[in-house]
Chains A and B, each alone.
Chain A
Amino acid sequence: MSASPFPWNVLGLTRNATEKEVRRAYATKLKLLDTAKDPEQFQELRGAYELALMLAQVAEAGNVEGADDKGIEQDASVSSDDGIDDFVEHQSRPALAPPKQTTVPFETMHTLVAERNYSVGEWQRLLNDPLLDDPGAGAAFESALVSALSENELKAESTLSAGKAWRDLIESRYAWVGDGIRYTRKFPFHSDLRQVLVELGRSSRPLPYSPVRETNQFAGLGKVVLVLLLLGALIQLLNKMAT
């Protein structure tokens, strides 16, 4: 191939390729590849594509003048603490509408929480409120709800007086327990709320998104003896570049 360095050499491009060129080159190469039969080659192509695309986007945004090797390192450091997924998310995060904290559902929610009212019927109506359909308002509402629950009863009593039905309703909407990785990233300072919800759900049937039957989940845990060496996806990529 040409004398261009990684990732452009894999795509058959020169280093200042535009986003459009990168996408086109990837599409052309991908169509020639049988991904099922050749997963390794696909991984290489995909890795090169993602990096080249990111560099092209950054270059086009005017942050980097001519993507050189230094540019790669700078970009890598941005994302190395939370991985590629977060970088993508961060990069194209929707421009949220300013949260309308004063609208009715927010007030209703604060009242219910203050009154320790966990009536499933009232919360059902609240969660289906059309005013929360706006993605910005919906996201703000989720954050406000986490804060309200943590600030109020939880702070005073270290628990919630809510029943399992209320807990299951909240879980079916937000999956704070089931999708704990997202919760922890989004609300790193509210792990106690999640813990309380875990306790409240103890007697619950298997969660809807973990369909696999619960076979002796606790077997063998005592012997589990491993230490984790964290290697982010991007770091692997960098390693590959180094070789």
Chain B
Amino acid sequence: MSGMPVGIDLGTTYSLISVFAEAGTSKLVPGADGTFLTPSAVGLSDTGSLLVGAAAKARQLTNPDRTHVLFKRHMGTGKEFRLGRKTYSASDLSALVLRKLADDFRAAYPDTAIESLVVSVPAYFSSAQREATMLAAELAGLPRPRLVNEPTAAALAYGLQDREGESTFIVLDLGGGTFDVSIIEMFEGVMEVRASSGDVVLGGEDFTDVIARDISEKLLVDLDGVGDAKRSIIATAAEAVKRRLSEAATAQVTVPLGKGKDYSLTREAFEALSAKLLIALRRPIDRCLYDAGVSVDRIDRVVLVGGATRMPMIRSLAARALRRLPEAGLHPDLVVAIGASVQAALVQRNAALSDLTMTDVAPFSLGINSVVHMPSGTIQNGFTPIIERSTILPASRSQRFSTIADQQAEIEFGVFQGESPMAFENARIGEGKVRVPRAPAGQEGIDVRFSYDTSGLLHVGITVVSTGQRSEIVIEGGAQSLSPEERKRRIRALEALMVHPRDESVNVATLERLKGLYSMLLGQERESSAELIARFEQALASQDPRRIAQVRDEVELAASRMEENYVR
């Protein structure tokens, strides 16, 4: 069995898998339905088995209470997702998506092992979120991955095309749920990320939400009061309007509430509704330029990544803020996955890439709380960064702290991540406690060493200066915080879950898509969609794989046409 470098883009709305092939180029791996984009969705089928990907996503409209999407937004938190009688963490659900992608890989490359695996994460993901992503890969039974920041992966895909070149470029990555900005300098085959900044709760879904709120306001529906079913109908209509407005100046839909209510939106009105989001997009751009110490005039290329950058208002914001027309030479939805497999090949030290190397930075400052003495006074609960943001990775820094009270027997501190000088205003991600020999204040001390690896994972070590005694801190919520038994138990539990067979999932997806269409349409069109459902169910009943495949293609085509006509 030979090994292959594999990259996975584990996205908020869609996930993709790609390989770095022998020929020295990246290739995307299609799913059983022939498409590259696997919706990041997990749901429960009517028979009680789990659906992953397109089949689950298609059921979101008809079974919103038994479908989960956007769980990436809750990575590294304690949030639980209920499906039937079981509950799942965001890592569990992500593991199911990863396993589906790995199945696609095995179908396309039988007898091939994954030799080096890279999973992409938002540059602005915290240590806990990164740990949760690593855990998801482990739970999926995959080899321990390395992580790459999404905008960096995108830059790698672009940089590969022009590796001799010398240029500075900025990547704006607006995905379904996150926004990342990175500035990258390329010289002599070195891709050096200068700075990264972002917002982990700002993405394309927020723009959809703005339209959904407007629909419910105009049509006098209380979005928070209506049930899941109606809410997902409104969300689906909003999504369709958003997509339409990327191509046309106006969009009109009939929302299937009651006898059907008409709604229309213009591009200008959409932009006005999104004013708050546009303001929030500017901050990471400003900050990235500031951190990189690069003026706008020195930016040679503006690269847009992520499906949400198709929105004209995003393109014009980028052009105005960076005074350069953005380019989109590579497909904005696919480029991160392509870059992830390039990184996997770099990790593997693939011969085809010996002339290319990449370095990344810490996206935020990491440190501990302490009493900070400054010329102007003392801050009692100050934040002392040990690794400052934009520090190039891997980095390992140590600082010495000493006791402040006589006869102090213990030093206790929190590990924080953030940019506020006050510790409690930053996010607390772990804590350390260590015993020291009793002595007068200031005599005993500890060295706190922060090591930040190339995946963006933090390791914290403490050494008591006088005794040389060492200890380690575990970051909360991550793979490290699980005991080996607990980990094994969770892997086994996930393995035991009954997931719908890969080939059948394609049929479920088609059927659910038709049902979803039925719920969105009214009158004549609704009847047409009912006919499609009947035809497809008849084909399924025949149990003849060739006939099923043929009818499936036909009804999918018809469904696509009806979907296109839904928004005008």
Contact = CB atoms under 8 A, between A and B. Distances in A.
Contact of B371 (A28, A95, A178, A226): A226
Given A36-B146, A133-B320, 14 more contacts: A31-B354, A172-B276, A172-B279, A173-B283, A175-B419, A177-B425, A209-B124, A212-B429, A214-B428, A221-B423, A226-B413, A227-B442, A228-B399, A228-B401
A215 B399 CA distance: 26
B382 A211 contact: no
B470 interface: no
A69 interface: no
Given A31-B354, A35-B454, A220-B431, A226 B426 contact: no
B365 A225 contact: no
Given A172-B279, A208-B201, A226 B359 contact: no
A135 B170 CA distance: 15
Contact of B199 (A93, A169, A181, A209): A209
B410 A226 contact: no
Interface in B408-448: 408, 410-414, 417-429, 431, 442
B290 A226 contact: no
Interface stretch (B30-38, B213-221, B387-395, B497-505): B387-395
B427 to A, nearest CB: 4
Given A23-B187, A27-B189, A43-B395, A226 B425 contact: no
B372 interface: yes
Contacts of A225: 371, 403-405, 408, 411-412
A227 B371 contact: yes
Contacts of B356: 31
Interface string B186-220: 01111000000011111000000000000000000
Given A31-B355, A217-B424, A224-B381, A229 B400 contact: yes
Contacts of A133: 320-321, 323
A170 B231 CA distance: 30
A5 interface: no
Closest 10 CB pairs of A and B: A94-B295, A27-B188, A39-B394, A226-B370, A180-B420, A212-B427, A172-B280, A226-B401, A179-B419, A133-B320
Interface string A118-129: 000000110110
A195 to B, nearest CB: 10
A179 to B, nearest CB: 4
Given A211-B427, A226-B403, A30 B420 contact: no
Nearest to B127: A212
A76 to B, nearest CB: 18
A72 B76 CA distance: 45
A34 B359 contact: no
B402 interface: yes
B396 interface: yes
A151 interface: no
A208 B277 CA distance: 12
A39 B295 CA distance: 30
B279 A36 contact: no
A94 B299 CA distance: 12
B385 interface: yes
B287 interface: yes
B401 A181 contact: no
Contact of A27 (B190, B349, B370, B410): B190
Contacts of B429: 212
Interface in A115-158: 124-125, 127-128, 130, 133, 135, 138
Interface in A20-69: 23-24, 26-28, 30-31, 34-36, 39-40, 42-43, 46
Contacts of A42: 394
Given A30-B359, A128-B279, A181-B419, A223 B412 contact: yes
A227 B202 contact: no
B77 interface: yes
B451 interface: yes
Interface in A163-202: 169, 172-175, 177-182, 184, 198
Chain B interface bracket (under 10, 10 to 19, 20 to 34, 35 or more) = 35 or more
28 contacts: A35-B454, A36-B454, A39-B451, A39-B453, A85-B291, A89-B293, A124-B279, A128-B279, A130-B320, A172-B280, A209-B364, A211-B76, A211-B129, A211-B201, A212-B128, A212-B429, A215-B428, A217-B428, A225-B371, A225-B403, A225-B404, A226-B369, A226-B404, A227-B401, A227-B442, A229-B402, A231-B399, A233-B388
Interface in B358-379: 359, 364-365, 368-373
Interface of A: 23-24, 26-28, 30-31, 34-36, 39-40, 42-43, 46, 83, 85, 88-89, 91-95, 124-125, 127-128, 130, 133, 135, 138, 169, 172-175, 177-182, 184, 198, 208-215, 217-218, 220-221, 223-229, 231, 233, 236
Chain B interface mostly: mixed
B418 A178 contact: yes
Contacts of B293: 88-89, 91-93
B58 interface: no
Interface string B250-270: 000000000000000000000
Nearest to A27: B188
A169 B417 CA distance: 23
Contact of A135 (B295, B405, B426): B295
Given A43-B396, A92-B295, A184-B421, A208 B202 contact: yes
B491 to A, nearest CB: 25
Given A172-B283, A174-B283, A228-B382, A221 B420 contact: no
B320 A173 contact: no
B138 interface: no
A31 B405 CA distance: 49
A181 B412 CA distance: 24
A121 B252 CA distance: 26
Contacts of B76: 211-212
A61 to B, nearest CB: 16
B282 interface: yes
Contacts of B287: 175, 179, 182
Contacts of A95: 295
A175 B278 contact: no
Given A180-B419, A211-B427, A229 B399 contact: yes
B126 interface: yes
B392 to A, nearest CB: 6
Contacts of A169: 276, 279
A152 B115 CA distance: 63
